[in-house]
Structure 1
Amino acid sequence: MRIGNNPHKDEVLPQSDYLHQVVIPVYIPHQEGYFKDSLRIFQLCIQSLLKTVHSKTCITVVNNGSCEIVIEYLDQIYHEGHIQELIHTENIGKLNAVLKGLAGNNIELVTITDADVLFLENWQESSTKVFRALPKAGVVGVVPQFCMYKNKCGNILFDTLFSEKLKFIPIQFSEGLVRFYDSIGWDRSYNKDYLKYGLGLEHDNVKVFVGSGHFVATYKKQMFQEMKSYFNYKLGGDSENYLDTLPLKYDYWRVTTYDNYAYHMGNVFEDWMSEIEHNKNNRTEIDFGFVVHKQAISFMVLLKNELFPKFLFNHSISKLFYNWKKLPKSMVNNYNNIIPK
């Protein structure tokens, strides 16, 4: 039996005070073998995040079927008020866990990050500066990587091909690149020219590299309004490709900050990880109100992101492109070399 009306019926939700959300899916099923150091690394991830975000940041952690000791740690930091949202699930797959974290709010920017990322000072401020300087940016990474302009970046290349602002620029912090590829198990036999120059874009005194990885990146939340609700992979398959291709449907550019603002730690703890020092971020100037796009015309998505890159990265055409965009001549012939893993 029910008597009367629920007093909250038809009540409009107030606008959230949060301007930035960070979603972290975490899966640590035990503390042996591959996962031996994972909890320690995840704790460093959380600690670095708490020290580098502003007060209007909502941190959402999705426990994707972790073991009891991880659950206890998460419950503790939630009840202590360090994180704003905590979702416990069985192992439903990484991207499905991310989707759970995205649902239920309308915060303008959302950073999706792996649980083994060590955040550095000013990553948040530098990301929002890029969104402000480049209204077409829809994804901003904070860790430069090799040749990301070849991955789902046809639209930015198409739009800026004849601009002098699109050109190869010197890598500012090659050590960050080395650490990243060490962390994912690559040997160091890759082309060392990739440590010296990358394809960049400069606008309003803000430099970025073209392209972005997806282990940590910030997205305009608007593009997730009609997001897919389920992926049938625990990891990989077509799930990670979803985060790379979704921005293209809105003709958003994928870029990365010029400097390196995070480290990928991997699954093995190293002493340097705990030696990174942070100063508490007390920044009061916070950006909001970024430009949003409607869905792009399907033909233009196909033209920019499928047909155009095939033409541009034809072996002969790509060399002309590299010369035109000021890659040092000594690097042009070898810049297309396959990167070993």
Structure 2
Amino acid sequence: MLAFILVFLLITDLPRLINRKNPVEEIQRDSVVYQKPLWQAMSMDALVHEKDPELIKYGKELIANTSLYLGPKGKVRSISNGMNCQNCHLDAGTRPWGNNYGAVLSTYPKFRGRSGTIENIQKRINDCFERSLNGKGLDSNSREMLAMKSYIEFVGQFVPKDSIPAGSGIWKLKNLKRAADPIKGQVAYEQKCVTCHGQNGEGVMNADGTAYTYPPLWGVHSYNVGAGLYRLSRFAGYIKANMPYGATYDKPQLTDEESWDIAAYVNSRPRPHKDLSKDWPKRSAKPADHPFGPYDDGFSEQQHKFGPFKPIEDFKKAKNKK
């Protein structure tokens, strides 16, 4: 029995488990304080201990190569726009501050203000299909849904319930004192982003036309206006920690201002519409950067889309104290 336990610990990355017990180190970089050690996904080597390892492998494959199975030319069905989940959730949802799945298992089911309901992981997955992939949701009992859910739960093992580990989700940038500027963003985009995403944001399709090697950032095949990255703060933080290709949270290639401005430029371009009339049923709960009214704070839709956001946030804080 002791030998089995030792083998299990080695397979599942003993250094990471040890680091979880070490004091958390806070590190200042630019405008952000972050913590170490960062969350690390469960190693796929640990699948030998899972009840259905093939289902988890299939889940990872679906996230990495969504379009091959569920895109316009999908092997299983055609329900999405040709992008892969991995285009937004980098390294199949395991990269630090790459919109990863580190806090999914630990925090779901949970109440989400956008829907005004308690949501489970299946609902969260289908939100991505309907918004970021501009498609249709999966049947909650389908093998594909069960596989993706199993993989997300697998990589988030050992994160304590109701906790959010360092490095999970998306990098949070400090607000600009000005509005993000799409014109400045276009200049930066043309200098830093065109090689992969194209002059017209069209992305690069693979040779057999089944998926995008580099995803489209606007246009009919991109994410729609209901996607999480259509919120400027989310997209700017994502860009800062991951873009252009080769950038990481600790070796960024863009300034904070460039990240905000590129996000503003990309999100100002045409993209698919989605009916959001049922989003944010409690109007006062809308985030400062939710780009569609009506609002209850007196600020314009333009400011909610591009900022500056601090005056809106300050107003909300003051109102909540009353």
Q: Give the TM-score normalised by structure 2.
A: 0.25
Ranked by relative contact order (alpha carbons within 8 Å, sequence separation 6 or more), the top structure is 1
Q: Which of structures 1 and 2 has the bigger CA Rg?
A: 1
Higher helix proportion (structure 1 or 2): 2
